[in-house]
Amino acid sequence: MKTKEFKFIFIPGTVFFVLSFISFILGSIYDFEIEEFLSKGFHFFSIKIWIIFFDVFGNFQFFPVLFIFLAILIETFFLFIKIKRKKEYYLILFLFYFLFLILWSYFCFTFVNNLYKKDEGFGINNDALLLLPMKYRINISIIVIFFTTLIILLSAYYIRFKFSKRKDIFIQEYWIDSIKGILFIFLCYFMILIFKPLFGRPYYYSVIFNDILNSYLPENWNYDSSKYFWGAGIDGTENVQYKNWWEINDFWKNLKYWFSSTAHLNQTNGWINQDFPSGHTISSFCVISIMFLFINNKKNRKLTNKKISIIWIWFSLILFNMKFSLVIAMTHWWTDVEFSTLFGLLMFFIVPKIIDYKQKRYFIKVNKKYN
């Protein structure tokens, strides 16, 4: 398999996986020491702004990719009906684009509106995690939402008016690659959805929360645990006990909070942080899953130098910044981000195998039926 994909994707990807695995093992031994060292950057204002950007960016970055996958599926289905039944059901397209826009607008509005209203123990308009006025997070969120929305709108225009006119849509089977991308995103976030509440790992922020109250707190800031329990103890001001990534945080005691919207108002000994694994790191991998549409040697989609550059710039720049910003922010441990890295890399290998296998089985079944 001496293809360009093998040289520039598989081999570097394998090396990247091995290095991440070694890093994860070392992190499992020295997680606390790594966090102690990297968190020293938390004291700088410019570092905090960098942290806020990647924290917000991590919440929004994969949505344009998910939209593209869904839009390709809908456009392909529309084209199939158009050819098969000689009818054009434009209502299908209208409903998809309209509903996505409405849901996206609602999500963005709710996200920003909550920033104006929420009180995480230090008062409204104060960012509890970064110990800064909330205005910085609000302004950065608006900027990120603007550019993310712009990407979605440009993608919608291209798919609706350019991509849908291609003559090779069925030959290239972009819809199958879109299913790969959607499955990738689903499996990644399903893992996050299960593992986070299962382990309930506390932030380093909560592990040193009493120190934060005594040494880091801005002037005139006061903590009210009735709004949010960050620490341990009756009044939520004590340090939470450190947990290794493999230690489950009071599973039976905290099970009742799994689907509760008020868990943060109760003493959970840091379970509410749900630190392990890193959803933001997974989000970065979900973005790069867009390459399912561009790389397919069987369909003669060649791996160009431009595509190689996009892949590795994303991994080396965005992923690097995302992981370090999360750890410096004291909202993730090194093993959190490395576990997500390993899982994301594995999914890049597993997901195509699953879909290709299912597709092959389907065609074998169809051939037996008609032969």
Structure tokens at 107: 């999500």
Three-state SS at 87: coil
Rg of the chain (C-alpha set): 23
Structure tokens at 307: 């595509």
| Sequence-separated (6 or more) residues with CB below 8 Å from residue 97 | 71, 156, 160
pTM above 0.75, yes or no: yes
From its phi and psi, is residue 218 left (phi > 0), alpha (psi between -120 and 50) or beta?
A: beta
Q: Are 330 and 204 in contact (CB under 8 A)?
A: yes
Q: Which residue from 164, 186, 184, 166 is spatially nearest to 299, judged by alpha carbons? A: 166
Q: How far apart are CA 18 and CA 127, in angstroms?
A: 37
Q: What is the pLDDT along the chain (371 residues), one digit of tens a residue?
A: 457 676 777 888 899 999 999 999 999 999 999 999 999 999 999 999 999 999 999 999 999 999 999 999 999 999 988 887 766 678 889 999 999 999 999 999 999 999 999 999 999 999 999 999 999 999 999 999 999 999 999 999 999 999 999 988 988 899 999 999 999 999 999 999 999 999 999 999 999 999 999 998 998 999 999 999 999 999 999 999 999 999 999 999 999 999 998 999 999 999 999 999 999 999 999 999 998 998 877 777 777 777 788 888 887 889 999 999 999 999 999 999 999 999 999 999 999 999 988 888 877 776 666 65
Q: Are 336 and 200 in contact (CB under 8 A)?
A: no
Structure tokens at 188: 């990644």
Give the DSSP letter string of 36-49.
Answer: HHHGGGGG-HHHHH
